[in-house]
Amino acid sequence: MSEKILEIRNLHVTFETPSGPLEAVRGVDLDVSAGELLGVVGESGSGKSVTFLATMGLLPTRAKVTGSVLLAGEQLIGASPKQLRSVRGRLLSMIFQDPLSALNPVHRIGNQIAEMLQSHQALTNREAQTRAVELLDIVGIPQPTDRSQQFPHEFSGGMRQRVVIAIAIANNPKVLIADEPTTALDVTVQAQILEVIERVQERFGTAVVLITHDLGVIARVADRVNVMYAGRNVEQGTIDSLFDHPSHPYTRGLLASLPRPGMQRLKPITGFPPNMLNPPKGCAFHTRCEYAAEVCKLDLPELQTFGDLQTACVRAKELPRAEVLS
């Protein structure tokens, strides 16, 4: 079994708001093994991005973060700003949703990559610029020498995302977090960006965490999947086990809503996600679940093992076997 490179335990994130405390993440446990691609999926507001922004130490000061995050044995929760700066970009990097806002509009692309390199390596300006061009070539940007001298506004959305990936992998991090990296890109460009991420993973042996609401993306590239709902893990396991026989009603609903050949009408999950200022007692999904019973309104379910999956549902053993989804 591969070495665990990132271990998250009992992570809680609460934001103080004028309306009261908002529990965005409620006791998440999660492991990432060296060299794997873990998909983290869930609706908007499920706590996916907040979990990993907390891991990076990038949440605003109004966020209260508790729990444990170990990266290669190094504790990140409560770490000093100096320690976090040493980790970010060297051991742990992130690809953000919007590449345009992630890049400095008045600095040339090559200089931005070189800055990341020199923040963690003793390189001369010439060495850093040479390596920047090499990185642009690795992520598939044509004429990398010329394009390294251009500015972000001279690149398309897909090309800007490739630049952000080049910056993120500049120092060969152990873990690369990709937060909705294909958002707002057309289908063809989405596929190209996913190919770049897969190529980077294979070339450098980097562990990748792919955060998305798109199960189709997860199906294509992930080794394992972690499904989140209302700030908690509700199901996790290998890609094959989760797609072939999901146990949690929320996962079943997500898979049933995917468009398939011959489908006349999409099947949405009824209802709305809970208000995290006042989350429901018990299982947060019980207000939308067709299998909900009284016990679901009382007990907060923990992950239990069912075959190759871990599922947080007290009725998982009683539910009819889900159809195989191909």
Q: Which residues contact 203 (CB under 8 A, 6 or more apart)?
A: 138
Architecture of domain 35-49+77-222: 3-Layer(aba) Sandwich (3.40)
Beta-strand relationship, 20-33 and 74-75: unpaired
Q: pTM (2 decimals)?
A: 0.93
Does residue 326 carry a pLDDT above 60? no
Q: Are the C-beta atoms of residues 12 and 65 closer than 8 Å to each other?
A: yes
What average pLDDT does range 102-125 have in this prediction? 97
Would you kindly state where each structural domain of the chain is located, as residue ranges?
Answer: 35-49+77-222, 228-311
Kindly tell me if the per-residue pLDDT of 175 is higher than 50: yes
CA 192 to chain centre: 18
- Asked if pLDDT for residue 187 goes beyond 50, the answer is yes
What is the model's pLDDT at position 323? 60
Task: Give 36-64 pLDDT, tens digit per residue.
Answer: 999 999 999 999 999 999 999 999 999 99
324 pLDDT band, cuts 50/70/90, is very low
